[in-house]
Structure 1
Amino acid sequence: MLASLGWGALAASSLVVGALLALVRSWSDRVVGLVLGFGAGALVASVSFELAEEGLRIGSAYAVAAGLALGGLTYFLADRGVQRWGGRSGGASAGTPLAVGAFLDGIPEQAVLGIGIAAGGAVSPALLVAIYASNLPEAIGSAADMRAAGRSRGSVVALWTGVAACCAAATVAGTLLADAVSSDGQAFVDGFAAGALLTMLIDSMVPEAKEKAKDWAGLATVVGFALAAGLSLLG
């Protein structure tokens, strides 16, 4: 359990690092878009090799399919709720919906990390890279928006530290859940996380990467996929 918490904290620390980077200097849209594209590609590989494949190996296709459907629907509904909240917020209060959105993205990612630790007893390097690369640009962009909305540096760092702590706890929850359920239950959890991540990728990360990095987004995505796929095969 301590190992799960430690790896979860390491992965979630990228949210705090991203917030600090946003406070140190401004970053061009192209750089943020390239990192987003890289992270998206890495997450696609993780969904393929760490979740869907593993779920089908340990449980039934029906369990994975049910998890995919429910995970995608859950993320979709929760994300719509956050968007409505953000639309009603203005000024400095706009930072809170942004943090909730990052939390919503981070929970399935970090839970998957915990599930992998429970299944194999070790962390997946590919998934760790994917989480880190996907968190950085999101935290950079969101923290910069919070600062522009009038939040102090201290409150921005404190808010993102809290989000990171919750995401790290999700890693432990993923480990406990995977240990407590049957093989089909684990396959369902794998499918649920995969569905949530795929919905997040298509609805959020990929469009933003394309918008910011333009024609370079596709190449960055391929690089991220290739690296994560290679790490998955080596692991």
Structure 2
Amino acid sequence: MAELQIIILFSLLSGSTVFLGGLLSYYFGDHVKSGLIKAEIIHSSTAFGGGILMAAVALVLIPEGMQALSIIPMAISFLTGAITFFFIDRYIQRKGGTMAQLLGMLSDFVPESIAMGAVFSQNPQLGILLAIIIGIQNFPEAFNAYFDLKTRYSAKKCLAILFLLSFSGVVSAFAGYYFLSGMPKTIGALMLFSSGGIIYLIFQDIAPLSKMKKNWIPALGACFGFMVGMIGLKMLG
């Protein structure tokens, strides 16, 4: 199979979990009765998604970005991301909604897919493994993102949005493969920009949403999410 076909295949597979996570969230929300157990699952999945995002930042995005850039461009890229997402988050909240999980998912999914496409030309096996890890990350993040979208749109529109976003991995991988293969500093700046935005979203929106009074189970979800990221890093070697 040609290299380009492999990129298309694996970027589609990694992106498909965006729609599948949203689909599971749709059936969960409509067919599971409300109660303490349902609330615990929702809050735990939010924390789990936050843990995965934190792992992506701490173990992949920031280390790769710091390796590519010197101190001043590193700091500028990171702070620009944090400030940009601050304004985006404020704008969305003024409109009466929240998109923290969706923004967090895309901030993780897009730069990692770009990196996946970029490394395919040098190390196809690493690109395939990165695609698998991206797919694993997307599933719980999309599960939570559906609930964010549901505050603003109908179920069908939410699923349609997630279905379309599942193809953003293909577009990002193509961009990385064709335009950024020889530009590690640009990829590093993008990763640090995303890291600043993700950390802002985690502490401003995602972590507070995962908290339940007199219940300590959701916090364990964050630990399990971070552990998934650690396992993924070990798999990358």
TM-score, scaled to structure 1: 0.76
SS in structure 1 opposite 2:180?
helix
Structure 1 residue 31, shift from structure 2 partner: 0.7
How many residue pairs are counted as aligned between the two chains?
Answer: 218
CA RMSD of aligned residues (A): 3.0
Note closer, same or farther for the CA distance 1:168–1:110 as it changes in structure 2 (3 Å cut). Answer: farther
Letter in 2 for 1:53: P
Aligned pair 1:169/2:179, yes or no?
no
Deviation string 1:45-101 (CA, Å, 9 cap, x unpaired) is 22112111112223323222211101111111112112222x2xxxxxxxxx66x66
Distance 1:172 1:31, change over 3 A: farther
Q: CA deviation at 1:226?
A: 1.8
| Preserved CA contact (<8 Å) 2:21 2:141 | no
Letter in structure 2 aligned against 1:50: V
Change (3 A) 1:176 1:59: farther
Using a 3 Å threshold, how does the CA distance of structure 1 residues 74 and 14 change in structure 2: closer, same or farther? same
CA distance in 2, matches of 1:19, 1:213: 29
Look up the equivalent residue of 2:181 and give its one-letter code: D
* Matched AA of 2:50: A
Is it true that 1:39 corresponds to 2:49 in the alignment? Answer: yes
Percent identical: 17
Q: Confirm or deny that 1:204 pairs with 2:198.
A: no
Structure 2 stretches lacking a partner, 5+ long? 33-37
- Which one of the candidate residues 75, 78, 99 is aligned to 1:68? 78
Deviations 1:182-232 (Å, cap 9, x if unpaired)? Answer: x43332122111111211222222211224994112211112212211220
**Equivalences for residues 196-235 of structure 1 within 5 A:** 196-211=197-212, 214-235=215-236
2:88 to 61, 78, 83: 78
Aligned partners of 2:41 and 2:194: how far apart in 1? Answer: 28
Q: CA deviation at 1:145?
A: 4.3
Structure 2 residue 27 is the aligned partner of structure 1 residue 24: yes
The aligned residue for residue 187 of structure 2 is 186
Corresponding letter in the other structure for 1:112 = P
Amino acid at match of 2:142: N
Q: For 2:71 and 2:215, locate their aligned partners in 1 and report how far apart those are by CA, in whole Å.
A: 37
- Give the letter for the 1:20 counterpart: L
User: What TM-score, normalized by structure 2, do the two folds share?
Assistant: 0.75
Q: Distance in 1 between matches of 2:158 and 2:230?
A: 34
C-alpha distance in 2 between matches for 1:36 and 1:55: 26
Q: Distance in 2 between matches of 1:71 and 1:166?
A: 20
Instruction: Measure the CA separation in 2 of the matches of 1:79 and 1:20.
Output: 25
Deviations 1:2-31 (A, max 9, x none): 545544433443332233234434351211
Higher helix share: 1
CA contact (8 A) 2:102 2:148 kept: no
